[in-house]
Structure 1
């Protein structure tokens, strides 16, 4: 494990349950991995994003933020080797994250909400230092939505400084509707739970069980299960259709950039699809290790 902290629901618990529920599913073939870069492997991937400022892939890990070099090798961004947990690209050059200090460095065990305005090179604390450990962050409608695993609740902020505490629940990931700020999804052991009041309350999760979800466009909600099955919903999660299986085993992170552009981290790599999961390009190597 990483730094000592309590999880209301561990990734392992969700993934183990999902494997039981999806073991008999008939999945389409594994997507094609178009490239195999010989790169030093990353591990413990916690978040993915594309910075619209440079269209580059950014990977939040247990050991810093990385981006692929020209030859596919992982390049450390800035000099921080902190454990970056919840991570999202809010807008050009502006990243939001949470996490824990690297061994041997100072600071509270829980970073709270931190922000970078130079594409991850430097970071500053915004709020909740020592109080919150966001394991999932989403930025939509000029609002920050975060799942605080330390306290087991959804928190929402308009300015990144003051927070509204909403529902308590056990979740692994969250996603906000791109056209309705009150519609929030959370991945739970029962399935995908839905809120229609901005996260104040959630309905009981419904099948299928997902590890991670990401909502790029109103008709492009993506989810990934523990076998790497990539699913898409065009009706806000009421129904799902599996589109592919991401190569590399169990997932560690998922981000849908737009309706067809998807990033996924699995046990052996960072994969990118520009066609909704029909084909995948391996951008960087990953060496096992989950959350």
Structure 2
């Protein structure tokens, strides 16, 4: 009798409790897996109690029959409830319908201009044709993310469970993160300040501390995908860097941002001159034509376009940003009228008319997919 009541108590303890999918995709998967285990366990106990009940039902006055009866009734309820929760979770999960950007560590278009790639702390997110998606790639924490015409370069931290060294050093992918090639300094340096020339593939990286290839703190560049590095003297710079960008074709042209303005070098970072004063720079990016886009703060958040040839500066009208600023900007490599920028508060705006109007495609880290017609 004691064993029977013990079995009954075990059955009760296995009844499901409300657990709705939330948070990251990994959390959702764990919760759904737990629900499936509970569902299977409840089904097994239901079958066991049902068999025991019918095998002992001739013992009319025995309390054992009542225990078995209540056992299969309650476990049946458990099966129905757990099954309903499992189906509901699959249909309404945030992992399927909502893309979460826990952080934004970069912004770039695929070479065909069809997809916007965003490194979001736990892997990449993709926005294409009005829809958000999470690609089936390793969830590396990319930093210094830089798109080029045949893929991207990046630094950062490897996803848990991978065989890549911590930190990543400098890596490259030609298939939007499906495979990763380690180029240099794996296990040594995490480059937050890094950029690459879109066409020529020259990489600039600022190291906060010496490593095996960079003997002192500072800005370095490589024209042969990290086989050799050259240090930039950075003459004219005596402030901390806040942003970094390199011309898409003229790899000797590099721009630096600080809290006091924008500096430009035309000799691989050996000498800099200030081209835009009185602006706290939060982002820098060259467009396809070689103009420099500057995100920053000067009494208000703003986005500027600086023409290197004419030296003229124009302001791009952007939506009102409250306690916020532009952190990343990029232009579609195929359609020069399509612009996109991200902010500190993890909002993302897209324009199809070169900044005349903007559509919000992410709000505080929540991807906003457009309605399908």
Q: TM-score range by the shorter chain?
A: 0.7 to 0.9
Check the 8 A contact 2:246/2:255 in 1, yes or no.
yes
Does 2:125 match 1:66?
A: yes
TM-score (norm 2): 0.59
Does 2:116 match 1:57?
A: yes
Structure 1 263/69 Cα, relative in aligned 2: closer, same or farther at 3 Å? Answer: closer
Q: Distance in 2 between matches of 1:165 and 1:219?
A: 24
Aligned length in residues: 249
Hey, which of these two has a bigger chunk of strand by percent? 1
For 2:313, the equivalent position in structure 1 comes to 240
The one of 258, 261, 264 aligned to 2:338: 261
> Any residues of structure 2 matched to 1:136-285 within 5 Å, and which?
136-151=194-209, 152-162=217-227, 163-167=229-233, 170-178=240-248, 180-203=250-273, 206-207=276-277, 208-218=279-289, 220-226=291-297, 227-235=300-308, 238-246=311-319, 249-257=324-332, 259-266=336-343, 267-285=345-363
Q: Distance in 1 between matches of 2:130 and 2:312?
A: 40
For 2:28, the equivalent position in structure 1 comes to none
How much has 1:117 moved relative to structure 2? 1.3
> Any residues of structure 2 matched to 1:82-101 within 5 Å, and which?
82-92=140-150, 94-101=151-158
Q: Distance in 1 between matches of 2:155 and 2:310?
A: 27
Q: Distance in 2 between matches of 1:257 and 1:175?
A: 16
Specify every segment of 5 or more residues in structure 2 that has no aligned partner in the other structure, as ranges.
1-96, 210-216, 367-373
For 1:123, the equivalent position in structure 2 comes to 180
Q: Distance in 1 between matches of 2:183 and 2:249?
A: 27
Moved beyond 6 Å, runs of 4+: none
Check the 8 A contact 1:218/1:236 in 2, yes or no.
no
Hey, which of these two has a bigger chunk of helix by percent? 2
Structure 1 178/115 Cα, relative in aligned 2: closer, same or farther at 3 Å? Answer: closer
Greater Rg, structure 1 or structure 2? 2
Check the 8 A contact 1:222/1:256 in 2, yes or no.
no
TM-score (norm 1): 0.74
Structure 1 275/69 Cα, relative in aligned 2: closer, same or farther at 3 Å? Answer: closer
Specify every segment of 5 or more residues in structure 1 that has no aligned partner in the other structure, as ranges.
1-37
